[in-house]
């Protein structure tokens, strides 16, 4: 005979079992274990080809007019993909092949650095020429999220192991390294033989391109992941301390600061004539006077403005995690058009003539900006990564 | 759904994340310490619930022999058994489902804390961008201390432990916790379910630890230790299954006295209580029971004196 109390106890125990089995599935199904790096960037344009690295760990060469794949990628090889496929889960399929930074182009070759520390040299039709484990120059666990910069055959890239690496791509040898106190996620900016970069250690650095010796460093109150931009001997960059700094690029002296942002700066500022456009994670784009740092206008979105905006014709285009692309007038920030993309956008925006390009988590999109400010989505709605046929003819245009 | 998510984030996740960040800045920029102190604070806030839950478990354990007697006394008259059982529970202030209430309240806190830990230690750039949306920017130093340094002894708290040490510690602490809180049962079916739970949870959580950030494993270990300590102070340090007891005496009535006498005679006749260790346990529990009933009587008399005054 089943006891009454035992019935209750049994119910409680069953409840506990159900609870913890639910927990098990909740934890695993929601993919909230350790987040796997996905990578992805909108890429770089060379003549009529957009080279883009996808969030599935691949590189693709797309025709900028049609969005069609121009070259069949030879990298990663089928063997490498099959090895990674053993990880099984869709999201982890290309885990070790994640690429965050856009490729760099030098002398008709593509250079890209993978998250797990390999520098690849590919031909423009995507055939691998060589690969170097540049991460191991510092440590075997070195990770890379920055976009490499190339100047005179010297590739410069920051790493998670607190170091900036200069690598001679012609001799395939290390040129120099520069040590910081924090990971480097920003891309280096080279200007008049100086390398400018930032670090999560809160510093903005200026070092000599030839030997990696320090010229000056400037401390902010927050980590910096945003890449700096230098224009007419002035450096501009935003920090996690919610301040956008203008420094003298020769001396590192502060010229002015802008303190109105309510959140961090992530994307790189954009300069156009006397305007400085600063995207902020508080969802605003701030337009400042480049000489004084005075706020001219700001435009808000319902998400975060993560990527770097782009100037095209007389407009500035901004992306947001609220899934929309906005076209604003340069002089007063008036919104001319808005395009709902249907997926959050964290990538930079790049341009070619009257076309803009940006990436979402699973697609690359192209939008034509007409002279009157209307936006039309190109490529029949976009180039998607995870389909057998990348371009679907019946996809509905977003704008 | 989005509204629920926003409420959840505003009420649970954001306060937790910001508390962790503040503790990190207060305790030497050490996130391991931050997790330990935060877990203790959370456990401290939940002490009333935990104590209530522990007491319910203890009371139910203590009532078991008594309920067994009722079963034997009333045979197959299930209605009578139910009535008597409910009466007994009422007399002893036991709600058979009472231990589920605190669990329901603690459950969202566990889930919230888990999510907060994951979000506060972003392992990729895109996760760091997400974190920016949860911070209270009016809080001092919040911008200065991000990104959080996830190192703690040999651990990277944002990554799983590469050694088997943490999964073992999680499993062992969970097993001890389970051992202390499992209500003993005479029913073989119930007993086997209890046994399964006793091993299943530690194994399951040990398994989680292999693939989850070690910061979360640290939380589980500290939380288990805190749970064991609280349980120890409330019900004693011996596992509940080792308690062979007589129920706590309710307000004395003739009827109850008779039942207790019957209990005594039945247990004597079965000879179960001849074991010396069990005797010691029984006398300990008797002393506790007497202390409890004496305390109750004192409190009652104090209350009545106050009323009279």
Say if A209 falls within a structural domain: no
Q: Which of A35-44, A236-245, B241-250 has the weakest average pLDDT?
A: B241-250
ipTM of the complex model:
0.83
Domain assignment of residue A347, yes or no: yes
pLDDT score recorded for residue B266: 38
Asked if B79 reaches chain A (Cβ–Cβ under 8 Å), the answer is no
Q: Of A85, A111, A146, which one is at a domain's C-terminal end?
A: A146
> How many angstroms away from the CA of A276 is the closest CA of chain B?
23
In this predicted structure, what is the pLDDT of residue A191? Answer: 94
CATH number assigned to the domain comprising residue A46: 2.40.128.630
pLDDT class for A51, splitting at 50, 70, 90?
A: very high
Is the CB of B68 less than 8 angstroms away from the CB of A13? no
CATH code of A322's domain: 2.40.10.480
Any domain includes A260: no
Going by C-alpha positions, the residue among B132, B134, B120 that lies closest to residue A281 is B132
Please tell me the distance from the alpha carbon of residue A362 to that of residue A354, in angstroms, as a whole number.
24
Q: Which residue has the higher pLDDT, A233 or A95?
A: A233
- Cβ atoms of A10 and A17 within 8 Å: the answer is no
Specify the pLDDT at position B42.
Answer: 86
Cα-Cα end-to-end distance for chain B = 57
Has residue B295 got a pLDDT over 70? no
Residue B272 contacts residue B244 (beta carbons within 8 Å): yes
pLDDT at A329: 95
Nearest to B190 among A9, A33, A202 (CB): A9
C-alpha span between A168 and A175 (Å, rounded)? 6
| pLDDT of res. A267 | 94
Exposure string for A79-95, b = 16+ CB within 10 A, e = fewer? eeeeebeeeeeeeebbb
B267 at A interface, C-beta within 8 A? no
- pLDDT value of residue B261: 44
Specify the pLDDT at position A102. 92
The pLDDT tens digits of the residues spanning A309-338 come to 999 988 999 999 999 999 999 999 999 999
The rounded mean pLDDT for chain A is: 86
Residue A312 lies in a domain: yes
Tell me: the pLDDT tens digits for B45-59? 888 877 777 777 777
Strands A194-198 and A189-191: antiparallel
Q: What is the DSSP string of A157-204?
A: EEETTTEEEEEETTTTEEEEEEE-SS---SPPEEETTEEEEE-TTSEE
Structure confidence at residue A223 (pLDDT): 96
Residue in chain A lying closest to B123 (CA): A35
Which range has highest mean pLDDT (A242-256, B114-128, B175-189)? Answer: A242-256
Distance from CA of A14 to the nearest CA of B (A): 8
pLDDT band (50, 70, 90) for residue A96: low
| Contact between residue A369 and residue A315 where contact means Cβ atoms under 8 Å apart | yes
Instruction: For residue A55, tell me if it sits in a domain.
Output: yes
Average pLDDT over residues A43-53: 92
The verdict on whether omega for the bond into residue B35 sits within 30 degrees of 0, i.e. cis, is: no
CB neighbour burial string for B180-191, b if at least 16 within 10 angstroms, e if fewer? bbbbbbebeebb
What integer pLDDT is reported at residue B252 of this predicted model?
43
CA B274 – CA B44 distance, rounded (Å): 41
* B142 interface with A at CB cutoff 8 Å: no
Domain annotation covers residue A262: no
Task: Report d(CA A59, CA A392) in Å as an integer.
Answer: 20
In a domain, A311, yes or no: yes
**Domain boundary at A125, A146, A167, which?**
A146
Name the nearest CA neighbour of A305 among A317, A293, A288.
A317
pLDDT, tens only, A107-142? 999 999 999 889 999 999 998 899 999 998 888 888
Question: What is the domain count for chain A?
Answer: 2
Residue A282, in any domain of the structure:
no
What's the domain range around A337? 301-399
Structure confidence at residue A8 (pLDDT): 58
Specify the higher pLDDT residue, B301 or A307: A307
B289 at A interface, C-beta within 8 A: no
Six token digits for residue A249: 């690029």
pLDDT digits (tens, 9 = 90+) for B88-127: 777 877 776 666 666 676 677 778 877 888 888 887 888 8
Last residue of a domain, one of A146, A179, A212: A146
- For the segment A142-183, what is each residue's pLDDT rounded down to a tens digit? 899 999 999 999 999 999 999 999 999 999 999 999 999 999
- Containing A224, the helix (H) or strand (E) segment is none
Q: How confident is the model at residue A76 (pLDDT cuts 50, 70, 90)?
A: low
Burial class (CB in 10 A: 0-12, 13-18, 19+), A297: middle
Percent of chain B with pLDDT over 90: 16
Under a CB-based contact definition with an 8 Å cutoff, are residues A271 and A231 in contact?
yes
What is the mean predicted confidence (pLDDT) over B258-263? Answer: 43
């Amino acid at each position: 005979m089943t006891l009454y109390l035992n019935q209750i106890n049994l119910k409680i125990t069953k409840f506990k079992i159900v609870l913890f089995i639910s927990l098990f599935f909740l934890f695993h199904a929601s993919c909230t274990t350790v987040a796997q790096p996905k990578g992805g960037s909108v890429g770089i344009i060379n003549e009529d080809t957009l080279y883009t690295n996808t969030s599935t760990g691949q590189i693709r060469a797309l025709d900028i007019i049609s969005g069609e794949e121009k070259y069949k990628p030879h990298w990663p090889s089928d063997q490498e993909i099959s090895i990674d496929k053993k990880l099984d889960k869709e999201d982890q399929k290309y885990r070790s092949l994640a690429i965050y930074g856009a490729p760099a182009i030098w002398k008709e070759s593509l250079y890209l650095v993978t998250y797990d520390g390999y520098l690849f040299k590919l031909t423009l039709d995507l055939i691998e020429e060589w690969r170097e484990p540049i991460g191991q120059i510092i440590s075997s666990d070195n990770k890379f999220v920055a976009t490499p910069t190339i100047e005179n055959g010297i590739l410069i890239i920051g790493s998670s192991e607190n170091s900036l690496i200069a690598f001679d791509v012609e001799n395939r040898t290390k040129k120099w390294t520069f040590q910081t106190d924090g990971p480097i996620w920003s891309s280096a900016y080279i200007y008049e033989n100086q390398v400018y970069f930032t670090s999560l250690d809160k510093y903005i650095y200026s070092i000599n391109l030839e030997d990696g010796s320090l010229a000056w460093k400037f401390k902010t109150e927050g980590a910096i992941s945003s890449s700096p931009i230098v224009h007419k001997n002035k450096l501009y960059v935003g920090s996690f301390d919610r301040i956008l700094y203008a420094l003298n690029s020769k001396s590192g002296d502060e010229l002015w600061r802008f303190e109105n942002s309510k959140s961090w700066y992530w994307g790189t500022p954009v300069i156009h004539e006397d305007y400085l456009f600063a995207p902020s994670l508080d969802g605003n784009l701030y337009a400042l006077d480049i000489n004084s740092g005075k706020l001219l206008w700001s435009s808000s979105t319902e998400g975060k403005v993560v990527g770097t905006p782009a100037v095209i014709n007389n407009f500035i285009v901004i992306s947001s995690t609220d899934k929309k692309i906005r076209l604003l007038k340069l002089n007063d920030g008036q919104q001319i058009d808005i395009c709902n993309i249907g997926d959050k956008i964290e990538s930079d925006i790049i341009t070619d003539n009257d076309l803009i390009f940006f990436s979402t988590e699973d697609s690359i999109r192209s939008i034509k900006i007409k002279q009157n400010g209307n936006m039309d989505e190109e490529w029949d709605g976009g180039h998607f990564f995870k389909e057998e046929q990348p371009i679907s003819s019946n996809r509905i245009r977003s704008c | 759904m989005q509204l629920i998510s926003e409420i959840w984030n505003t009420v649970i996740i954001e306060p937790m994340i910001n508390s962790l960040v503040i503790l990190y800045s207060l305790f030497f920029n050490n996130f391991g310490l931050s997790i330990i102190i935060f877990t203790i604070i959370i456990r401290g806030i939940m002490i009333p619930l935990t104590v209530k839950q522990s007491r319910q478990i203890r009371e139910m354990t203590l009532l078991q022999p008594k309920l067994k007697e009722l079963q034997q006394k009333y045979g197959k008259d299930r209605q009578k058994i139910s009535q008597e059982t409910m009466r007994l529970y009422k007399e002893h202030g036991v709600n058979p489902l009472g231990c589920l209430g605190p669990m329901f309240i603690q459950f969202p806190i566990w889930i919230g804390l888990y999510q907060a830990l994951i979000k506060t230690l972003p392992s990729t750039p895109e996760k760091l961008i997400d974190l920016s949306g949860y911070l209270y920017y009016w809080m001092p130093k919040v911008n200065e201390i991000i990104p959080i340094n996830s190192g703690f002894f040999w651990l990277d708290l944002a990554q799983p432990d590469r050694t088997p040490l943490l999964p073992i510690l999680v499993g062992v602490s969970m097993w001890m916790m389970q051992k202390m809180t499992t209500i003993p049962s005479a029913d073989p079916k119930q007993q086997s379910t209890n046994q399964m739970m006793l091993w299943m949870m530690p194994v399951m959580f040990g398994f989680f630890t292999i693939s989850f950030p070690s910061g979360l494993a640290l939380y589980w270990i500290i939380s288990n230790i805190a749970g064991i300590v609280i349980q120890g102070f409330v019900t004693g340090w011996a596992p509940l299954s080792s308690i062979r007891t007589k129920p706590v005496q309710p307000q004395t009535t003739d009827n109850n006295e008779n039942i207790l006498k019957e209990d005594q005679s039945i247990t004597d006749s079965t000879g179960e209580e001849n074991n010396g260790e069990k005797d010691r346990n029984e006398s300990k529990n008797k002393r506790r029971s007497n202390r409890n009933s004496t305390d109750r009587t004192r409190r009652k008399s104090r209350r009545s004196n106050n009323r009279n005054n």
